[in-house]
Amino acid sequence: MPRNRGLHDRESKRDDIVAAAREMFVSDGFDRASISRLAKAVGITPNTVYWYFDDKDDILVAVLTAIAAEDAADYPTVADRPLAERLIWLVERLHSVGPLVSTVHDRVASSAAIAEWHNGFHHFAESLFVADIEKAGLYGSEADAMLRIGTFVVEGLLTHTPSPEVARAVIDRLVDSISPA
């Protein structure tokens, strides 16, 4: 038997748990997705889940990290587009997992792991348009405020899911407020 087979099997099973959890967390909600149901979906016992993850929050972080990694890998395909198109792309990409945004905000105060992931998401979202803010001539506290406003707009669009037309209007208004006068 190859020396790394155990590690490969472990990574494969962990990926299976993350995939099943992603589906359950999005379709049923985080609170309604039990470890027992998750284990059954993957074909393991509930106690075995804890061999791969510390707790349910750890599983949520793994799900969110997988989603962010997919988006980061695909981002170069839109990186050279105007800011409004990049933000619409992000909102559209994350729309299918939008319910997890509320879950993150509900759990951020009680879970250090989720709080750390949430802060990382903000940095990722802000990195998507920091260059646009600099090009607009915003620096210091003005730039920091605009970065946070942009992140809050993206989170708000994911949480409240307006029509595509309204989402586009909100993003266009945000971009207009960033653009140099």
**pTM: predicted TM-score of the whole model, two decimal places:** 0.83
User: What's the pLDDT at 180?
Assistant: 64
- Cα atoms found within 13 Å of the Cα of residue 67, Cβ hemisphere only: 28
* Whether residues 151 and 129 fall in one domain: yes
Spatial separation of the C-alpha atoms in residues 127 and 107, rounded to whole Å: 24
Spatial separation of the C-alpha atoms in residues 47 and 6, rounded to whole Å: 19
Per-residue pLDDT of the chain (181 residues; tens, 9 = 90+): 444 445 448 889 999 999 999 999 999 999 999 999 999 999 999 999 999 999 999 999 999 999 988 888 999 999 999 999 999 998 998 888 878 888 999 999 999 999 999 998 888 888 888 989 999 999 999 999 999 999 899 889 988 889 999 999 999 999 999 876 5
> Quick one: DSSP state of residue 111?
-
Instruction: Report helix, strand or coil for 30.
Output: coil
User: What's the pLDDT at 5?
Assistant: 47
How many angstroms separate the Cα of 5 from the Cα of each of 11, 14, 87, 91? Answer: 10, 14, 41, 39
User: What's the pLDDT at 158?
Assistant: 86
User: What's the pLDDT at 2?
Assistant: 47
> Quick one: DSSP state of residue 76?
G
User: What's the pLDDT at 6?
Assistant: 53
Mark which of 36, 53, 70 sits at the end of a domain. Answer: 53
Yes or no: say if 63 and 46 are a contact pair by the CB < 8 Å rule: no
Q: Using the structure block, give the residue that is written with the tokens 């989720």.
A: 114
Q: Which domain holds residue 8?
A: 1-53
Tokens at 42, concatenated: 């993957």
* Whether residues 39 and 73 fall in one domain: no
* Whether residues 65 and 33 fall in one domain: no
CATH code of the domain containing 9: 1.10.10.60
* Whether residues 87 and 31 fall in one domain: no
Yes or no: say if 46 and 98 are a contact pair by the CB < 8 Å rule: no
CATH code of the domain containing 171: 1.10.357.10
Residue type for position 61:
V
Yes or no: say if 137 and 147 are a contact pair by the CB < 8 Å rule: no
